[in-house]
Amino acid sequence: MLNIFNRVRYSSVSKRCLDLVSPVLSRGYSNGSSNKKKTLDTIRSKYQAEKPISVITAYDYTSARLSDEAGFDVLLVGDSLGMLQLGYDATTKVTISEMLIHCKSVSRTAKHAFLIGDMPFGSYLTVEDAVQNACLFIKEGGMDAIKLEGGERIADKVSSIVDTGISVMGHIGLTPQTATTLSGYKVQGTTAKSALQLLQDAISLQNSGCFSIVLECIPEKIAMEITNTIDIPTIGIGAGRHTNGQVQTFHDTIGLYDLIKPKFAKPYTDTEKIISIALKSFRTEIQENIFPSEEHIFKIKEKNYQEFLNTKC
């Protein structure tokens, strides 16, 4: 089967493509060593060795630094940042400029993980827009690859971006950018017809050159069928135990979002609670004149202080 590994390696790479991949090259290639920059080869090797691929979202210096230090294979600058960082009520509000600010922050910070930027709603309506905007994620955002939501209907955009020399991750199932057309944030592929469409979408994305596909919120058995059918890694979120890797948002993983607690997420700590306790403690200590104490203050030599007192009018 044709996939991105083949396409990138064997297609005629234009000068424009070399411009696009140079940020990736300059960070250095390696294969598997956790201290080196991870690449498509790292992902391919893990897939071939049947080792799970670990993906987490990152949006800024702190989330990128901590996730990179934790050793994730991939950091995804997801448009979920619209809700988790910017306070929008949906990801559809996120703009390219907002995405690029966060991509730059993550690419300045992360030293090891493979970086994927999520193209926001409305930024890949035509093939021309798709290619131009994908280039921005690589050239300005410092990303190694981009992600698009949709199956067969965006195949032409995917193949054009891939032909430009940019690696593309697909995303099917529950696609938040078009959640209203899916009747809300619901599990997808629960009927034979819709499950078949998902399989068709996955095959189409693979044939268009995607190097990997996110499967979001679909029954475990359908995710397993898709994973067993295609030859590129599937990354699941709410897609069960048989995908080639897993992705979660940074905020769901550390328990730092108040509005939605998805069934498929597992908070490994309660950061909301920890931060809230810290903030209330600080406010109380200000109120009760406990903070700052001796250890937080700066001193002036007595001689200088006296001189200051004597000379002030």
Which residues would be at the binding site for ligand KIV (CB under 6 A)? 57, 76, 78-80, 118, 171, 214, 216, 237, 247, 249
Catalytic residue among 69, 98, 216, 285: 216
In the complex, least distance from residue 219 CB atom to ligand KIV, rounded to whole angstroms: 17
Backbone phi, psi, residue 46, to 5°? -65, -40
Spatial separation of the C-alpha atoms in residues 261 and 231, rounded to whole Å = 32
Please say which residue, 79 or 225, places its beta carbon nearer to ligand KIV. Answer: 79
- Whichever of 8 and 94 has its CB closer to ligand KIV, that residue is 94
| Strand 114-118 to 74-77 pairing | parallel
Rounded least distance, CB 150 to ligand KIV, Å: 12
In whole angstroms, the minimum distance from the beta carbon of 81 to ligand KIV comes to: 7
Q: Which residue lies nearest ligand KIV, judged by its C-beta? A: 78
Instruction: Reduce the secondary structure of the chain to three states and give it as a string.
Output: CCCHHHHHHHCCCCHHHHHHHHHHHHCCCCCCCCCCCCCHHHHHHHHHCCCCEEEEECCCHHHHHHHHHCCCCEEEECCCHHHHCCCCCCHHHCCHHHHHHHHHHHHHHCCCCEEEEECCCCCCCCHHHHHHHHHHHHHCCCCCEEECCECHHHHHHHHHHHHHCCEEEEEEECCHHHHHHHCCCCCCCCCHHHHHHHHHHHHHHHHHCCCEEEEECCCHHHHHHHHHHCCCCEEEECCCCCCCEEEECHHHHHCCCCCCCCCCCCCCCCHHHHHHHHHHHHHHHHHCCCCCCHHHCCCCCHHHHHHHHHHCC
Q: How far is the CB of 237 from ligand KIV (least distance, A)?
A: 5
Are residues 243 and 235 in contact, defined by beta-carbon separation less than 8 angstroms?
A: yes
Residue closer to ligand KIV by CB (options 47, 59) is 59
Give whichever of 142 and 176 is closer to ligand KIV, judged by the CB atom. Answer: 176
216 is catalytic: yes
Nearer to ligand KIV, 160 or 253 (CB): 253
Least distance between ligand KIV and beta carbon 164 (Å): 22
By beta-carbon proximity to ligand KIV, the closer residue of 1 and 259 is: 259
User: How far apart, in whole angstroms, are the C-alpha atoms of residue 207 and residue 158?
Assistant: 10
Minimum separation from the CB atom of position 235 to ligand KIV (A): 8
Catalytic site residues?
216
